[in-house]
Amino acid sequence: MADQSAPIGIFDSGIGGLTVAAAIHQLLPHENLIYVGDTAHFPYGDKSAGLIEQYGIGIAQYLLERKCKMIVIACNTASAYAFKAVQAVAGKDFPVVNVIDPAAEAIAKQFPQGKIGLIATRGTVSSGIYPRKIKKQAPKAEVTSLATPLLAPMIEEGFFNNKISRTIIHSYLEKKSLQGIEAIILGCTHYPLIRPEIESFYKGSITVFDSAELVAQKVQNELRHSNLLSEGDEAKMEFYVSDYTESFAASAGYFFPEKVELKKLDLW
């Protein structure tokens, strides 16, 4: 059985998963965290399923070597294509949390017969995983998906809450396929950074779902169920990137105002 003080391992292709890490840290401030941003392979959204699975296995093996007690796949595309492979590497009894299941469960519960919009990377949309999981729980729900490939690179480069980001966001949200929706899923962990702009576009007329807080609650429940909640005082956080980027350093400092020391991780 894992040590309660063992860290939670979290990974994403870039800065997006920091939204999940921050939500976990806020809810569970005593948990030690190890975050891996696979910036060398960003974005995952336009990679093949086989490559994404390969990246996920490599990072999972590193986190297991670091004696993590749980792995959180803080990326929708990796959750869609690498979850089963990561679970197989970790073992069937090892807790692995993805970002899709908690969101799909919440949406199916709140809008069992609603018209739901999904914006995500090409990879996540192509997987069809959100409509499949939502409709399994809410057969009468209608899910309309729109690939928004410019958003994650835009956010990764620090373009949000400005004229450029608003123009791109509006051009996507004005698409005919998203008209008449009652809720929208931010199907990429980068997208909570532009949530205020999305909410401004809809002026409160629809419900906006991002998975960060839902995943944090899932992590808390899983750890409590396994009797693995940390009882330590001060959490330690480690941040690794496969390629150093200024935007990642700036974003890590934004989410974690305490001094963040980025370390290069040579997995590949």
Instruction: Count the neighbouring beta carbons within 10 Å of the beta carbon of residue 36.
Output: 26
Cα(180)–Cα(124) distance, integer angstroms: 22
Flag residues of the chain having pLDDT under 50.
Answer: none
Cα(156)–Cα(136) distance, integer angstroms: 33
Q: What is the pLDDT of residue 248?
A: 87
Residue that has been written with the tokens 């999940």 in this structure: 20
Cα(262)–Cα(240) distance, integer angstroms: 6
Cα(145)–Cα(190) distance, integer angstroms: 17
Active site residues: 75, 188
Which residues does 233 contact at the CB level (< 8 Å), separation at least 6?
30
Domain 100-211 has CATH 3.40.50.1860: yes
Fold agreement (8-98+213-264, 100-211):
yes
Cα(228)–Cα(60) distance, integer angstroms: 19
Over residues 162-208, the pLDDT tens digits come to 899 999 999 999 999 999 999 999 999 999 989 999 999 999 999 99
Domain 8-98+213-264 has CATH 3.30.420.40: no
Task: Give the strands of the sheet with 237-241, arranged side by side.
Answer: 96-98, 70-73, 8-12, 33-37, 237-241, 262-264
Over residues 66-79, the pLDDT tens digits come to 999 999 999 999 99
Residue spans of the domains in the chain: they are 8-98+213-264, 100-211
Q: What is the pLDDT of residue 1?
A: 59
Q: What is the pLDDT of residue 130?
A: 97
Q: What is the pLDDT of residue 183?
A: 97
* pTM confidence score: 0.92
Q: What is the pLDDT of residue 160?
A: 81
